[in-house]
Chains A and B, each alone.
Chain A
Amino acid sequence: MLIARVLRNDDRQAFGELVRRHQSLVRGFLRRMLGGTPELADDLAQETFIKAHRGLRGFRGGATLAVWLCAIATNELRAEWRRRARRAEFLEEDPSADLPLDVDLGSGRDLAIGLALLPEAQRAALVLCFEHGLTHEEAAAVMGCPLGTLKSHVSRGKARLRDWLAEDRETA
């Protein structure tokens, strides 16, 4: 209904309602994926919604709007990582060096650090499936990978996170 209103009259109020409904998912996902850089995550989230507004006519409704928005956010994320890699290559620095792990990581700092240390695909799979409650099929659609690959990311991610948390507890 809201989508129809946006498409028919470019209704900004209706689009604002869509942003209100889905911002916690998009912003939360991006914040986790960017390892605690909320300003950058919000910039990418804003870009995600602007692209969604531009491309809303192409949204066919085959997936839910949440999945479609997450897929756009994932593309934004990949573009950001490519920019980082290029910059790191140019400056000859470690691309992960600018991830401040001690900033706004939410409750459970140890869990947040453990997540941030996971490979990106495993982190994305865990965040989408457990933090935001997407089904495996939906998360696979967001990440553009087969269902089996997604399940493997989830399983490996959980195992690595469990090991890291156990290690962290022992050290403490």
Chain B
Amino acid sequence: MNHDEIEQRLRDAALRPQDEAFTGRVLAALPARFSPGLRVAALRGFAAATRFGVVLLLITVAQQWYVSGSGNSETLVVIASFVALVFAATSRLCGSLIPPSVQRLLWRGR
């Protein structure tokens, strides 16, 4: 038996399993997908929670700083400047920390 015959026998004896049940089985095993609407809502929720967390952290740090400090007006100015700086830097880097809907409310309130 020469090499060409071996090649031909391999081609003839090829295993080619094909059935619809396997396709169904693979599709059923794929991870559940988010609908586009759900995905957008999840992303918005995550962004809102992150903003809220950052703002809460800033407030907590400022309050702790004020309590542990001398409590005079100079400290208050320093803390306010620090918070304003961090707020501005974070907003510039990650987008506004105040959601647009809240911003609109604030502007309307004025």
Contacts and interface: CB of A to CB of B under 8 A. Distances in A.
B9 interface: yes
A70 to B, nearest CB: 14
B86 to A, nearest CB: 35
A108 B17 CA distance: 16
A46 B26 contact: yes
Contacts of B2: 162
- Max chain B C-beta neighbours (<10 A), residue from A19, A45, A127, A159: A19
B13 interface: yes
B25 A126 contact: no
Contacts, number: 89
Interface residues of B, number: 26
**Which has the most chain B C-beta neighbours within 10 Å: A25, A54, A130, A132?**
A130
B15 A130 contact: no
B54 to A, nearest CB: 30
Interface residues of A, number: 40
A131 B6 CA distance: 11
Given A53-B30, A165-B1, A23 B12 contact: no
A110 to B, nearest CB: 9
B30 A28 contact: no
B70 to A, nearest CB: 56
Contact of B6 (A10, A15, A53, A162): A162
Contact of B14 (A54, A132, A161, A165): A132
A54 B12 CA distance: 34
Interface of B: 1-3, 6-7, 9-18, 20, 22-23, 25-27, 29-31, 33, 36
8 contacts: A12-B33, A19-B27, A24-B16, A28-B17, A50-B26, A106-B13, A111-B10, A162-B2
Give the top 4 A-B pairs by smallest Cβ distance, nearest first. A130-B10, A131-B14, A108-B13, A24-B16
Interface of A: 9-10, 12, 15-16, 19-20, 23-25, 27-28, 31-32, 38, 42, 45-46, 49-50, 53-54, 106-108, 111-112, 115, 126-127, 130-133, 158-159, 161-162, 165-166
